[in-house]
Copies of this chain bind each other. A is one copy, B any other.
Amino acid sequence: MDKQTFARYRDIYRAELFEYVVPFWLKHSLDTEQGGYFTLLERDGTVFDTDKYAWLQGREIWMLSKLCSQYGVRREWLDAAKLGVDFMRAHGRAENGDFYFAMDRAGNPLTQPYNIFSDCFMCTALAEYGKVSGDEKALEEALAIYRRIQVRKDNPKGVWTKAVPGARNLCAMAMPMIQMMMARELRGLVPQEELGPIIEENLGIFFHRHVDRKLECVFERVLPDGGHLFDVMEGRLLNPGHALENLWFIMDIAHEMGRQDMVEDVADIMLWPAKRGWDEQYGGLYYYQDYMGYPTDKLESQMKLWWVHAEAINAFLLAYKLTGRKEHWEWFLRLHEYSFTHFSDHAYGEWYGYLDRQGNPVFGLKGGKWKGFFHLPRTLMVCEQWLAEMAEKA
């Protein structure tokens, strides 16, 4: 590809980020009366639910802080980040320091800290906020949360665990994946001698358990030895978006480590979920699939989700950037085309979150219980940065 092509795409991602996405959240999401963020937003930004979820509070703090660290501190971004930090410091933590899953608008806790990902997102949020705000305490908090996560990680739901102890043990990809996410974000804050072994351990878990080279498939849940439980749905579950998100985290870390062999390997692997997950009839990537083609236990399996496509775009653009393979550029173009045609809503800003299989929005919502200021702006940011580098070098 030539310089002009990269520059043209770079302009698209940059404009989408700064004209259609960031303004939408700054305008509709900030709860200037009671603190924190509204994240349940209709097509036009109308708040349709005032509850506050720790995942989404943490992710929005992180993203706002990230904009400051990547594009220079702007008062409105930093103030908005502080709005979330103050709210979560005042209301977000249970007595033992773990983060509640949900609070009401005023910050009264609703749901116990059964979900360790709340802590993971708040950890990276405080790390990034500390970096750009000069708030040293935030860095200390982030480090303490990170270390507490490493203690809790093998029993993350604690007393709220519904699995019977000693029952069959399927290992889910979510934990090693969030470890890679945190590892990328906490470079420089967590000492390398502490972070290095965690990265190595989680690379091992991913490549030895979840990647099956014989079957050419990335599995969500596997036996501890990497074997499969194919008699039951949960052993056959595939989640193309999850696999691709994890793959680009790993590719980025491999590149940082100078491991071009691993970069090339990951570029091979990412073709499996993309090819298997693509809907040949209507376009777009499925949300869930069954390895053997049976039904999954998720009614929404055939729907097309914004984050799946955002993460897939990241994976293929990064792979092209680091390997130059034409096939990966073509996947990037296919995903880009589908996403900007179906998800993007320039009338009101932001992307639709949930399309039916045919590609029509099921709801108009721009923010929900699981959709906040995170996947999409992160994609737009990293892609515009990568494309800028690619344009410069071409």
Contact = CB atoms under 8 A, between A and B. Distances in A.
A300 B295 CA distance: 15
A302 interface: yes
Interface in A120-174: 159-164, 167-168
A3 to B, nearest CB: 42
Interface in A292-308: 292, 294-295, 297, 299-303
Given A49-B232, A50-B231, A295 B356 contact: no
A112 interface: yes
A388 to B, nearest CB: 35
A362 interface: yes
A366 to B, nearest CB: 10
A42 interface: yes
A164 B299 contact: no
A159 B110 CA distance: 16
A363 B290 CA distance: 11
Interface residues of A, number: 46
Contacts of A292: 48
A104 B233 contact: no
Chain B CB within 10 A, most for which of A50, A167, A365: A167
A167 B356 contact: no
Contacts of A294: 42, 48-49
Nearest to A159: B159
Contact of A112 (B162, B300, B368): B162
A105 B6 CA distance: 55
A362 B114 CA distance: 32
Nearest to A360: B357
Nearest to A108: B167
B365 A295 contact: yes
Given A159-B159, A299-B303, A302-B362, A49 B167 contact: no
B110 A163 contact: yes
B297 A164 contact: no
Nearest to A109: B164
A192 interface: no
A40 B101 contact: no
A76 B233 CA distance: 30
A354 B299 CA distance: 8
Given A108-B168, A109-B167, 16 more contacts: A42-B294, A48-B292, A49-B294, A50-B232, A100-B164, A104-B168, A110-B164, A111-B162, A111-B163, A111-B167, A112-B164, A295-B364, A297-B369, A299-B362, A301-B362, A301-B363
8 contacts: A48-B294, A104-B168, A110-B163, A110-B164, A112-B162, A233-B369, A297-B368, A297-B369
